[in-house]
Structure 1
Amino acid sequence: MIKFLLLPFLLIFSAAFSQQSFNTSNSNVALKELLATSYEKDTTANAFFIFEDGYSRFESEGDYDLLTNYTAKIKVLNKEGFDQANISIRLFKGETGKEKISELKAITYYLEDGVIKEHHLSPDKVYTEENEKYDLVKFTFPSVTPGAILVYSYQKASPFIFNFEPWWFQADVPKVYSRYLAEIPGNFKYHIRMVGDLKLHSEKNDIKRRCFSVRGVAAMADCARSEYVMTDIPAFKEEKYLTSRYNYISRLEYELNEMVRTDGHKRKYTKTWDDVDKEFKTDNDLGKQLRKTKWVRGVLPENISSMPNNLEKAEKIFDFVKDNYRWDGKFLQNVDVNIKDLLEEKTGNVSAMNILLHNLYEEEGFEVLPVLSSTRSNGMPTKLYPVLSEFNYLMVQLDLEGKKYFLDATEKNTYFGLPPFRALNRYGRLLDFSNGSSWVDLEPEGFSSVSMRDSIKLNTDGTAIGVSNHVFSGYNALSVKNRLDDLKQEDIFNDLTNPNSHTRSLSATPNVENNPVEINFNLHNGSQKINDLIYLNPFSFKFYDENPFKMRERTYPIDFGYKHAYTYNIHLEIPEDHEFVELPENKILKLPDNGGTLYFMTQQVDERTVNIHCRVSFPITLYSSGFYPYLQQFFTEMLDIQEKSIILVRQKV
């Protein structure tokens, strides 16, 4: 049976038919808002923003700070929403000054015997937590009860004009209405970008005349006035197969590109990649370390150095670095890079490790270049313009015999050409100081697979004995090797497999010396006999323990990182005096646009033997959010096959 996944008809209620209405024009609290007991657009919400407003502009005269006024009105529905009453306001600080807040007000509104009551925050309940790079102004709303509404406001003054105040439309709870107003003097030019997939409800842009003045200058500057509104904003909920929430959570970001002084002089702030390449080439950190290939002369053993420059030698150099030097767990940001120290101390950060690898290849005459990138948890760097603070990783690209390999020597268990999973963040910047840098894709080739092969004999009491062979390749092999380092023998079965409820293992024998990795299990499965019939589920294991996709909808992509493939072959033998009564139905499931397939086949070989074959493949590493309901249904049906497929067996009459 071939089955293409189709979504059931969904009833979608538009706002026109909504019975809920809230005051989204200001922070005033209405009785009907206090009486509300749920939020119909997200019935799982414990709290939500009714109204949020921000207004940023430059201070005329004075200190010329960036001023931002913020106001929020939050509805608390139940005790689980009480965490919204704990407020933290982050204030950055640096060598040139620090951010400050003023006019802080916070009021809790609640009902008492049908009357609206107010409890104002006392100033002595506000405190500041100091950190190295920022301070946190913290307070907790008083008298919070289910149904209460929390309103607070403040003004923030910031001396840091390079990054104009960002605006976060999306949060961990839903919002009914969020508005941001920005006024930027004409002599300031910012890169403005909208992050995330959610769309604005409205955007208005115009000119505000004579809005900004500078002391001693008679003329006043005009401002670009922009108003951004978003409504019915869903909560951002994190789920599996997400890189960094900061790639997708909806917000506005600003970065200063150019400023024109009152004398007409222009100062550029945002650099081009040509500028960055020149700086990297000549700087005393990264560029210097890449040039110091003389430091690695004589480091390689003669038996490796004397080999011809082929794939075998490249692999030997890679293994030499990862086996003899240790990564200290530090990334690219805020650390010194020193190859000389790494050679002496045998330990260093990610840049030192991979620059050593780069320099060894270059000294040996290989074609190699460094790749600046960002880890999955750090977020994807923007391609619009260089923002070096968004990069925290460095790898190596080796071009050999017409094929390109991305290499990272920081993991002791990794394989040549298999960068750690944390580095699979879609793209990086190839640093070529001779021809100019360029973007390169970091998607691995081929599938990473899990293959299982069972040989099972059914006993007359419904129990079963047999052996199971599991073979892991690619990133699955790397994951198993890393986890085996910390596992006891008795924990291998439960920690490295997804056994079905009836599955038991007497022993596990791993073999990690080769690639792929292999583990063999001896099985003694529990009885599945009921009265005179044996209801046998042939699957001792499942590909997945549970459906990872549980949300009603998902607004960001599903990022697997690499291509997945799973294969399960089962050879089942029943007792001589027994017979098959019923076998599961064969199925083929397909995702749209060749996004994945599932094959499930049962073949009776003879009176006592059945072969079962199940294969699942995901040939795409990154699925758009539109695939989410299809993937959700696909995983449900895949789990049903492996949990509920029954072979019915009975004793012959």
Structure 2
Amino acid sequence: MKTCFLLLSVLLLLVTIPQQVDAQKEPKTGKVDIQNLEATQCPTDSNAHAYFIFDYGKADFDYMAKNVRTNEAGSSQTGFQLHFNRHFRIKILDNEGFDYANIEIPLYQGDKDDELSQLKAYTYNLENGKVVKDKLSNKDVMTEETSEHWNTVKFALPNVKAGSIIEVDYTIRTTHFFNLRTWYFQRDIPILNSDFTAIIPEYFHYNKTLRGYYPVKFDQDNRQQKLTINVHQQARGRLVDEARYTSSFNYTEHIYHYTADSIPAFPKEKFLRTEENYISKVEFELEYVKFPQEPIHYVTSTWANVDKDLTDNQYFGKQLNSAGYIRDAAEELKQSGVEGMQMLDLAFEYIKRHVAWNGTRSKYINATLNKAFKEGSGNCADVNLNLVRLLRELGFKSYPVVLSTQDNGIIHPSHPSISSFNYVVAMVLSNGKAYLMDATDRDAEINLLPIRCLNDKGRIIGDVQDKWINLMNYQPFTMTSSILMMMDSTATISGQANMNLKGYGAYEFRKAIRKYDSPADFIKAMDDKNKLQDVDGIKVKGLDTLYHNLNLTYKFTDNELSSNPGDMLYFNPVVIPYFENNPFKLDKREYPVEFDHPYHIQQVQTYRLPANYQLQEAPKSVKMVLPNNEAQFVFQVQNLGGNLIVSSSLNINKSVFLPSEYESLKKFFQMMIDKQHELVVLKHI
């Protein structure tokens, strides 16, 4: 009897009867107000091309097996499900808003896949004073595998026009309780009303984090809920008689309600790694599950546990214990006779050539390191864990470093979580220095990671004292350019340019040049105002040679720099400024300015003036410096024996500028750009 009582107690703890909770009145799906269809402008933003009329969401838990047979183990396996419902309407104001009628719904794929259910979607139009409704057809809904653990349901709403309203209502059912989805109060178009409710049984404890700069109202309430279960106890020989039980008891349900009204579109501007770090949203992270008379099951605990979980994982740390498959490669490299950094370079380039990246980001390998190595391709973990394994075989102290890429958001050290990481690179410790490597990128160098990896800090998995490593500021973007120009009496300018780049300057220019059919096309693309004509004599050195500077030289004529009214000649002495326009447009920026790396840019332009002209007026030299030398711009003009020398240098020495520093940075850039647009005036003699 004691056994039956314990069985019943456990089953009772896993059962809930859901009760509908409406925090506020939600519009009924399938019917819209004609006033919204008649609207021609967003009430809160006259420049918007589309806006959310409302965006409602609710997450709650339901227990699926309300009748349990004690001899069916599977019946207790189908217990709690997390249901996430979203219901929204978007007003499409003009043709530029049509893209918002293309809907994507991500679904997690694991031991049990997320399930999309109750999908309803409509387009509403006003025709001859009447509302016309078009329903989404099931045949227009498709599912696409978008990454290792995610599929995406995609569809486009039918018959969308300027003035349409689209409506989408769906529910996602999942047993992945860690995946209580983030709710976004702010998106890239305005939202008139956003409302989200999470209803969570006391057994599940989530860390809840509000982020962003837009204010969100929050209310919390508790209520008693009733658990009910029908148990059919099957007879088991002489020890257990057949019996039926119906039992119930109360438990606490926590209700978290969030609302926000008249939310502006997230203001997009350059030099932001991802809006995920700053957009207004609420995140839920499952910390632990605790049932009465059961021990706590921690899902998120400490960073030490994260390290141990990765070290013990068969798709991560355990793969590094076997090296037989890669010993031949190590012996081949040893035959070169080199040591130290030269051997490190050889091993790095060897993995680049032998294991190609398939474009998938993951902290876990796909199958085994041996398989990826033999097949010659894999995800980023396959590539870089093979590099770690090879480096260890060569005698280096090498460790994997897990990180979050820029578009995945920043890691929060106070919230230990394996799921925050989506990428892995390799590291070597030698003579007290750390060397980071990513063999997925042909242009990456030692301590020059791909831009996607430059996102604050990564975590070292292994026996080291300092577990966090800075991913930033290892190498700056360095560019030095010189241009020698001849100016004739007709104001035509011909010149020869020499551009030398290293660090991230060489890295970014290598990638940019390869995107074009020829270096000439690349140079013309750099010239935003199409001032340069007849570009020829192009030479590129170091395009495919890493650890060396990239050098670009070319000749050109210029028809737009100068004008020649009467006896005066005017020209802009800065041919191709690195910043043509101010990248900072907002009156106020509520999130930081994030540069991927420091900038060191020097430009020298020498003009040989025509003999029949003399210098009448030139821009004045200037030096601008932000506090603590965080940024510096120097502009100098010299007239030396008929040669006009215009030199400028820009140094940005800090990666992150806070919102409080935005105004001074914006003015700094504007003054720099204004100075580079000042004219030189020559007078005919």
Matched, 1:49 2:75: no
List alignment gaps of at least 5 residues for structure 1: 1-23
Matched, 1:203 2:237: no
Matched, 1:423 2:453: yes
Please give the secondary structure, in 2, of the residue aligned with 1:530.
coil
Matched, 1:256 2:286: yes
Question: Aligned runs of 1:501-512 on 2, under 5 Å?
Answer: 501-502=531-532, 504-512=534-542
Shift of 1:564: 1.2
Shift of 1:583: 0.7
For the structure 1 residues 399 and 499, does the alpha-carbon distance in structure 2 shift closer, same or farther, using more than 3 Å as the test?
A: farther
Counterpart of 1:171, as a letter, is: R
For the structure 1 residues 414 and 267, does the alpha-carbon distance in structure 2 shift closer, same or farther, using more than 3 Å as the test?
A: closer
Question: Aligned runs of 1:245-284 on 2, under 5 Å?
Answer: 245-261=275-291, 263-284=293-314
Q: 2:570 is matched with which residue?
A: 535
For the structure 1 residues 217 and 38, does the alpha-carbon distance in structure 2 shift closer, same or farther, using more than 3 Å as the test?
A: same
Shift of 1:533: 1.8
Residue 588 of structure 1 is aligned with which of 609, 612, 623?
623
Please give the secondary structure, in 2, of the residue aligned with 1:219.
strand
Q: Distance in 1 between matches of 2:85 and 2:373?
A: 53
Please give the secondary structure, in 2, of the residue aligned with 1:494.
helix
Matched, 1:468 2:497: yes
Please give the secondary structure, in 2, of the residue aligned with 1:65.
strand
TM-score between both structures, scaled by the size of structure 2: 0.79
Q: Distance in 1 between matches of 2:667 and 2:51?
A: 29
Q: Deviations over 1:141-189 (max 9, x none)?
A: 778652x655665555544433224322122311122121222111111
Residue 620 of structure 1 is aligned with which of 654, 663, 674?
654
Q: Distance in 1 between matches of 2:380 and 2:162?
A: 49
Q: CA contact under 8 A between 1:101 and 1:156: conserved in structure 2?
A: yes
Q: CA contact under 8 A between 1:34 and 1:110: conserved in structure 2?
A: yes
Q: Distance in 2 between matches of 1:359 and 1:89?
A: 38
Q: CA contact under 8 A between 1:426 and 1:443: conserved in structure 2?
A: yes
Counterpart of 2:200, as a letter, is: I
Matched, 1:449 2:478: yes
Q: 1:181 is matched with which residue?
A: 197
Moved more, 398-407 or 373-382: 373-382
For the structure 1 residues 248 and 264, does the alpha-carbon distance in structure 2 shift closer, same or farther, using more than 3 Å as the test?
A: same
Counterpart of 1:203, as a letter, is: F
Q: 1:171 is matched with which residue?
A: 187
Q: 1:516 is matched with which residue?
A: 549
Shift of 1:624: 3.4
Counterpart of 1:646, as a letter, is: L
Moved more, 331-340 or 466-475: 331-340
Q: Distance in 2 between matches of 1:157 and 1:299?
A: 48
Q: Distance in 2 between matches of 1:587 and 1:529?
A: 27
Shift of 1:223: 1.2
Shift of 1:54: 2.6
Question: Aligned runs of 1:74-223 on 2, under 5 Å?
Answer: 74-85=90-101, 95-96=111-112, 98-102=114-118, 104=120, 108=124, 110=126, 117-120=130-133, 122=135, 128-131=141-144, 134=151, 136=153, 138=155, 140=157, 146=163, 153=169, 157-195=173-211, 197-210=212-225, 216-223=246-253
Please provide the CA RMSD for this pair: 3.7
Q: Distance in 1 between matches of 2:374 and 2:123?
A: 60
For the structure 1 residues 418 and 211, does the alpha-carbon distance in structure 2 shift closer, same or farther, using more than 3 Å as the test?
A: same
Residue 61 of structure 2 is aligned with which of 58, 62, 65?
58
Counterpart of 2:308, as a letter, is: K
Counterpart of 2:117, as a letter, is: I
Q: Distance in 2 between matches of 1:504 and 1:385?
A: 57
For the structure 1 residues 244 and 494, does the alpha-carbon distance in structure 2 shift closer, same or farther, using more than 3 Å as the test?
A: same
Q: Distance in 1 between matches of 2:585 and 2:469?
A: 33
Please give the secondary structure, in 1, of the residue aligned with 2:672.
helix
Q: 1:493 is matched with which residue?
A: 523
Shift of 1:320: 4.5
Q: Distance in 2 between matches of 1:150 and 1:529?
A: 57
Q: Distance in 1 between matches of 2:450 and 2:169?
A: 45
TM-score between both structures, scaled by the size of structure 1: 0.83
Q: Distance in 2 between matches of 1:417 and 1:88?
A: 37
Q: Distance in 1 between matches of 2:525 and 2:674?
A: 22
Shift of 1:470: 0.7
Q: Deviations over 1:291-347 (max 9, x none)?
A: 234544453467856868544443444344445654444433674264444554555
Q: Distance in 2 between matches of 1:469 and 1:589?
A: 26
Q: 1:6 is matched with which residue?
A: none
Counterpart of 1:209, as a letter, is: Q
Q: CA contact under 8 A between 1:110 and 1:145: conserved in structure 2?
A: no
Q: CA contact under 8 A between 1:59 and 1:66: conserved in structure 2?
A: yes
Higher relative contact order (CA 8 A, sep 6+): 1
Q: 1:38 is matched with which residue?
A: 41
Q: Deviations over 1:476-525 (max 9, x none)?
A: 10222334456425334324666762565332112215722111222333
Q: Distance in 1 between matches of 2:100 and 2:529?
A: 40
For the structure 1 residues 437 and 164, does the alpha-carbon distance in structure 2 shift closer, same or farther, using more than 3 Å as the test?
A: farther
Q: Distance in 2 between matches of 1:363 and 1:508?
A: 44
Counterpart of 2:536, as a letter, is: L
Please give the secondary structure, in 2, of the residue aligned with 1:59.
strand
Q: CA contact under 8 A between 1:107 and 1:152: conserved in structure 2?
A: no
Q: Distance in 2 between matches of 1:170 and 1:258?
A: 29
Q: CA contact under 8 A between 2:623 and 2:634: conserved in structure 1?
A: yes
Shift of 1:605: 2.5
Q: Distance in 2 between matches of 1:347 and 1:125?
A: 37
Q: CA contact under 8 A between 1:108 and 1:144: conserved in structure 2?
A: no
Shift of 1:371: 0.7
Counterpart of 1:396, as a letter, is: A
Q: CA contact under 8 A between 2:447 and 2:475: conserved in structure 1?
A: no
Q: Distance in 2 between matches of 1:320 and 1:75?
A: 54
Counterpart of 1:275, as a letter, is: N
Q: 1:11 is matched with which residue?
A: none
Q: 1:5 is matched with which residue?
A: none
Q: 1:571 is matched with which residue?
A: 606
Q: CA contact under 8 A between 2:475 and 2:504: conserved in structure 1?
A: no
For the structure 1 residues 637 and 385, does the alpha-carbon distance in structure 2 shift closer, same or farther, using more than 3 Å as the test?
A: same
Q: 2:76 is matched with which residue?
A: none
Matched, 1:638 2:672: yes
For the structure 1 residues 212 and 164, does the alpha-carbon distance in structure 2 shift closer, same or farther, using more than 3 Å as the test?
A: farther
Shift of 1:580: 0.5
Q: Distance in 2 between matches of 1:405 and 1:549?
A: 34
Moved more, 126-135 or 217-226: 126-135
Moved more, 292-301 or 165-174: 292-301
Q: Distance in 1 between matches of 2:173 and 2:372?
A: 44
Please give the secondary structure, in 1, of the residue aligned with 2:506.
helix
For the structure 1 residues 65 and 400, does the alpha-carbon distance in structure 2 shift closer, same or farther, using more than 3 Å as the test?
A: closer
Shift of 1:31: 7.4
Shift of 1:381: 4.1
